[in-house]
Structure 1
């Protein structure tokens, strides 16, 4: 089982008891503001999401990790890798992304976890390149991608909901 540890987080695969805390994160309009069309998700949609994330792990060898605080054992959210099938113009690609509950914002946890996941992607999984896609205006995500050393590659539009997007990239150093 793939497991990453940072000073404050354990990044692990998903468990049944993650459903309720992740559903609470998905039900928060402020959290979901920059995801897709900004709609919140209910418990059933969250369950489908977690199942899809686990399928990504099984089928592709990468996926979103459950991000758990080491000290409190609380689920902070998700940080991990996925294939951005929703944006065919950048495929083939593997995307790094994150989604944390509001109590975990502003403490550097997304950046801490994203550094570990990026290292995992480039070293352990041997990816030559990783992208990050976020909505234009999402300054928090823009800050994380800068701290990861990613460079802006292009601007585009989400094909399903018309939201302007920024695509950043980082390539493995030879």
Structure 2
């Protein structure tokens, strides 16, 4: 199964390729990205990007995960990522990150909305979950705009430390 591109009004979501590894390292390597996410380590080194990208094709083919590079239409350089790092039984937890220069422009919302629509139509997505660190109010805004209902506050282990998170879950 070939992973198709997804177009939105301003964005092209496309599969990552190994040529993106340096840009992933540059953007995801900023400490604030690690501070605002549970899954991006700091420091973020180039081999991590290479290893991460190498998993995407087989995950998509097996329909166990979907990961897309976020690009602006007309510019192939990645500006972030949007994904369902796990898909199982029609349920997935949405994840995304953007390089700092692209924050506050509605891009994360547009990318997530496009990915959700694609996965609902083509991969049988029925339920979307979302989790964000409580202090990450930008992610909270994205999730609320997507209309995913708040479920509860929890404590999750993030890099060995218990961190407060907000959990959301709803039908698509």
Residues 165 and 52 (structure 1), Cα distance of their counterparts in 2 relative to 1, 3 Å cut: farther
Q: Identify which of 64, 68, 78 aligns with 2:67.
A: 64
Larger displacement relative to structure 2 (92-101 or 32-41): 32-41
Alignment partners' CA distance in 2, 1:68 and 1:125 = 22
* Correspondence 1:1-174 to 2 at 5 A: 1-36=3-38, 39-40=41-42, 41-60=44-63, 62-83=65-86, 93-159=91-157, 161=160, 162-172=162-172
TM-score (norm 2): 0.86
Residues 126 and 93 (structure 1), Cα distance of their counterparts in 2 relative to 1, 3 Å cut: closer
Between the two proteins, the alignment pairs up a number of residues equal to 167
Structure 2 gap segments, 5+ residues each: none
Structure 1 gap segments, 5+ residues each: 86-90
Alignment partners' CA distance in 2, 1:79 and 1:43 = 19
Q: Could you tell me whether the CA contact under 8 Å between 2:90 and 2:125 is conserved in 1?
A: no
SS class of match (2:94)? strand
What root-mean-square deviation, in Å, do the aligned CA atoms of Structure 1 and Structure 2 show? 2.2
TM-score (norm 1): 0.85
Larger displacement relative to structure 2 (70-79 or 56-65): 56-65
Post-superposition CA distance 1:51-79 (Å, at most 9, x none): 23333213225411011111322211101
SS class of match (1:67)? strand
